[in-house]
A and B are shown apart, each in its own frame.
Chain A
């Protein structure tokens, strides 16, 4: 219930935060704290220093960066500061319209209190395989802006998640923003499967789908949550969906491959076989919802 003692720093700029991290041997970055505090209280981690990003105003906010961002594809993009809390993302009309999948996923994170404090950047950097937003960042082909001692670098979501609780962010670096290419006209479906409402997902599937002529799927992007140590793309399903008319049968057939290449855990919420099956059902439902044909 009581964390071990630690030193505390509250920088007001990214540079100051980076200097603190560079000097520390064993520092933990505190974003919204909604995952970190339970870890500290259960004494599963006992850092010497906690660096609280809560007073760095530049890390907070939702910005339309147009086509000028580094986002691949050349379309518009929205940049979300790493310290932007979920409830602000949820309240953004821009995100609801242009990044509908992210809106749906954020609405399902934790509970209202958690969404008031928890941040998108904190959650992505924590990289819990059951986190709601990792798979969505993958599906939306987001880019992660990472600041370090030698400046900023941009890492595609596909290269960001490296292992269980492990990302491309180094010990002396910070995730400062997430850039999402906007998906105007794309449909979105998010299927989170839980045993009780406030639980982390047993499995979740995020799908965004673009329809050619409003009829046939021209492109689909599917992200899987808790189907392995990192969030995953269901590439086989995406390929199988291209050119498909989104009937329940056709989508169902394409989604039979949803668990290909995954390595889901077995735990109290379900064994790996069950999770593999669940992924196919949730993928079908997410894609159909995204295509405007919810079951």
Chain B
């Protein structure tokens, strides 16, 4: 067990690499401004793009007059969807969750109809960005407005017969797919309807409907793309999480041979799932560059980013939890509506399915049913946002456990203890069919409760209630787990996902002793260069400083499946560890040869091959030089100790943790302020505690922000009202507190590192912790729910309505 609060440990105090608070290798360039963001890149002669976007949620394009824009100074071209029709390709949906999924074709630049406000209808190309933007205003588009499908429930119910608005009239429905998991059918548990019937006659039934509001990932670096078609290959730089997938799909949808495309993700300023996308802007830039034979650049404004980069969450959740009167859960039924927006995005359709396996969470539900419908609307498309499916599931079940406790009049921690999987029950196969390999919910919870001062805060809460203090205290609990490490390729295949889940790594032993490492996991802030250096230094026994991690360029690291789903360490890190093991194995015969010993007498430790029982030895770095020279080596082996490895996990990993939050609610104004936040996360083996703590802190804030501040809101015409950072409320330091974030470790059994993944944990866990705290504060006022975000106005109205009831 390690805590990571306050001063990080000095690097020198630690002799191994695993578990060491290495300061990051990435930092120096970022601290001094020697960065390479995509927007910094401009090959000679670069032309600039401006996008003409639809102001309407749904309209037919009846004409586009580009003459004034064409005549504007310094304009090179104005291209419409019709102009690009043959070359622009389409944007793929890589995860059709059912074989009969209904999905509209998604052209990067709309041709005859727009399906959301912000969709691109024309591209202006000019010698400067200012000239392009000026001319874009002169493009005259005639629209014939069509009825827009905006409200999720209305859209789900709309049919041609009832006259409801259809997002894509030619499809005849807004319902894209229906995906069901039923434990009785799957043989993983009982029939949930039986459990519900039993609860109805003499048990407890908790029926709730929760709203997962629409969110915007709001990465700090706006998206940017540069395409250079000069030379033999077309090079595309993009602020993306997924250079490899982008390259594959560019080739697959435009007909350009994959070998002629190079994709580079240079320094990328955050993603959080928001840059896990193949975008209309990338595809349009690619098409324009090819057409003109000149480099082009497009960098979005923040307003464009909030409007057109994919959004996240946006579900209605109808939930039924059955329990016995002693508090034992007996069944859970989940009925979801998920808003896809106007198009089925890269993995957008599958996001709710990722949650399907997590609603049962850490609890032993004997029966479970998940029934989800994905729905098309005339709004910005939705896709992965930090947690993707799992925050929605965790929120629902953790809110329900609090509601069950309230119904029973018992402490919500007790009710959880009664129902969770105990540490001696692992490995545990859940009602959703997953096998959790390891965990210890009791210990994490005990540690969190202790650090939180749970009993003292409960006493203070009682006192404030007694005194009718206008500022009430609420305590929120979230004991969560998640599935990380996307993902076992066979599992993905069974879910109809379009790709595998493996990751690739290569280790090149340079003759100077330096170690060049490539990984297909392309970082955008996670610290791969540091953590992966630690893994390689540990496995090869070379100095940390001698390891150089290269990534994010399909020419440098040609194979990979990129970074999302908390997969980099558990899949990409493991691939690297396996490659390092191969290097050692390949170096061993060299060592035996050079040391004139039998291979079986050679031992390897701390970077050195030695002959058992003697002090004689060769370092792996010395062998790298010998292999380069290749003057003297055994027959039958190649003159190289470089190695590559591809790792495909057999199972997900399952981090878990206990999060405790105390809030103060000003009942006069409805204002919620954070008082204390304690979490104990079990993410398996920790490579770098400093980085892990940073991931947790950042994740917490995104989850807290969903609970309290953020929501993408449209008006009745389908116009985004939260189109700037003055309206879409990303919190600042002044809105937050310091956290007490600790971690424990029960190692994962599905990779040799024992790592479970940490990128999404904080976000998944914190949202229900905060909302549970808000509701807990207000229970004496008759309040049982506050819709997210829990704005002061909503809290105040809830108090008025609760008190009146």
How far, in angstroms, from A75 to B671 measured CA to CA in the complex?
40
The residues of A that contact B731 with a CB separation of less than 8 Å are 196-197
A268–B722 CB distance below 8 A: yes
Contact with B along A34-78 (1 / 0, CB 8 A): 000010001100000000000000000000000000000000000
What does DSSP make chain B's interface, helix, strand, loop or mixed? loop
B671, A193: Cβ atoms under 8 Å? yes
B130 contacts A270, C-beta separation under 8 Å: no
Query: How many positions in chain A have a CB within 8 Å of any CB in the partner chain?
Result: 24
Is A271 engaged at the interface, CB distance under 8 Å to the other chain?
yes
Query: Which A residues are in CB contact (< 8 Å) with B792?
Result: 193, 195, 202, 270, 274, 278
Q: Is B491 located at the chain interface by the 8 A CB criterion?
A: no
> 0/1 per residue, B135-174, Cβ < 8 Å to A?
0010000000000000000000000000000000000000
Question: Judging by beta carbons under 8 Å apart, are A193 and B669 in contact?
Answer: yes
- Docked Cα-Cα span, A193 to B672, in Å, equals 12
CB of B793 within 8 A of CB of A274, answer yes
Q: Which residue of A lies closest to B734 (CB)?
A: A197
In angstroms, how far is the closest chain B Cβ from the Cβ of A228? 18
Q: Report A118 CB to chain B, min CB distance, Å.
A: 15
Asked whether A195 lies within 8 Å of B791 as measured between CB atoms, the reply is yes
Please report which residues of chain B, range 295-331, place their CB below 8 angstroms from some CB of chain A when the two chains form the complex.
301, 303
Q: Is the CB of B134 within 8 A of A199?
A: no
Answer yes or no: A247 CB below 8 A from chain B CBs: no
Q: Mask for A60-98, Cβ within 8 A of B = 1, else 0?
A: 000000000000000000000000000000000000000
Contacts of B301 in A (CB 8 A): 1
A268 contacts B727, C-beta separation under 8 Å: yes
Tell me the smallest distance from the CB of B733 to a CB of chain A, in Å. Answer: 8
Residues of A within 8 A of B595 (CB): none
- Bound CA–CA A41/B681 (angstroms): 44
Contacts of B671 in A (CB 8 A): 193
B414 located at the interface, meaning its Cβ lies under 8 Å from any Cβ of chain A in the complex = no
SS of A interface (majority): loop
User: B303 contacts which chain A residues (CB < 8 A)?
Assistant: 42
Among A200, A278, A282, which residue has the most Cβ atoms of chain B within 10 A? A278
Chain A residue at minimum C-beta to C-beta distance from B671: A193
Measured CB to CB, the nearest residue on chain A to B796 is: A274
- The reply to whether the CB of B735 lies closer than 8 angstroms to some CB of chain A is yes
- Which residues in B have their C-beta under 8 angstroms from that of A281? 668-669
Q: Would you call B732 and A197 a contact (CB within 8 A)?
A: yes
Given contact pairs A1-B301, A278-B669, A198 touches B791 in the complex (Cβ within 8 A) = no
CA distance A43 to B50 in the complex (A): 14
* Distance of A199 Cα from B727 Cα, bound (Å): 8
The CA-CA distance from A271 to B800 in the complex, in Å, is 14
Q: Please name the residue on chain A nearest to B731 by beta carbon.
A: A196
Query: A215 in the interface, Cβ–Cβ < 8 Å?
Result: no
B292 at the interface (CB under 8 A from A): no
B709–A195 CB distance below 8 A: yes
CA distance in complex: A195, B707 (Å): 13
A162 close to chain B: CB less than 8 A: no
Separation of A146 and B133 alpha carbons in the complex (Å)? 37
Q: Which residue of A lies closest to B708 (CB)?
A: A195
Q: Per-position contact with A for B714-729: 1 when CB-CB < 8 Å, else 0?
A: 0000000110101101
Q: Say if the beta carbon of A269 comes within 8 Å of chain B.
A: yes
Given A268-B721, A274-B793, answer yes or no on A196-B669 (Cβ-Cβ < 8 Å).
no
Q: Which residue of A is nearest B797, CB measured?
A: A274
Report A257-277 CB contacts with B as 1/0, cut-off 8 Å: 000000000001111001001
Query: In the complex, how many angstroms separate the beta carbon of B787 from the nearest chain A beta carbon?
Result: 14
The answer to whether A196 and B793 have CB atoms under 8 Å apart is no
Whether A196 touches B129, Cβ cut-off 8 Å, given contacts A268-B713, A269-B791, A271-B793, is no
Contact residue among A1, A4, A196, A278 (Cβ-Cβ distance under 8 Å from B735): A196
Cα-based distance from A38 to B709 in the complex (angstroms): 23
A2 in complex: contacting residue of B130, B669, B734, CB < 8 Å: B130
Interfacial residues of chain A within 170-212, with CB under 8 A of chain B in the complex = 193, 195-200, 202
Q: Which residues of A contact B134 (CB under 8 A)?
A: 2, 4-5
With A197-B734, A268-B727, A277-B796 known as contacts, the answer to whether A43 contacts B130 (CB < 8 A) is no
The distance in angstroms between the C-alpha atoms of A219 and B22, with both chains bound, is 63
Interface flags, B226-249, vs A, CB<8A=1, else 0: 000000000000000000000000
Closest residue on chain A to residue B791 by CB atoms: A195
Point out the residues of chain A lying under 8 angstroms from B796, CB to CB: 274, 277
A195 contacts across to B, CB distance below 8 A: 709, 729, 791-792
CB nearest neighbor in B for A266:
B793
Q: Which of A43, A198, A282 contacts B137 (CB 8 A)?
A: A43
Residues of A within 8 A of B729 (CB): 195-196, 199
Which chain B residue shows the least CB distance to A267?
B721
Which B residues between 540 and 586 are near A, CB-CB below 8 angstroms?
none
The interface residues of chain B lying within 8 Å CB-to-CB of A270 are 791-793
Whether A269 pairs with B793 at a CB distance below 8 angstroms is yes
Whether the Cβ atoms of B797 and A2 lie closer than 8 Å is: no
The closest CB in chain A to the CB of B303 belongs to: A42
Known: A271-B793, A274-B796, A281-B668. A2 touches B732 (CB 8 A): no
Name 7 A/B residue pairs within 8 A (Cβ), A-sorted. A2-B133, A2-B134, A5-B130, A5-B134, A269-B791, A274-B793, A277-B796
The 3 closest A-B pairs by CB, nearest first: A197-B734, A270-B793, A1-B301
Given contacts A274-B670, A274-B793, 7 further A-B contacts (CB under 8 A): A2-B134, A5-B130, A42-B303, A193-B671, A196-B732, A196-B735, A268-B711
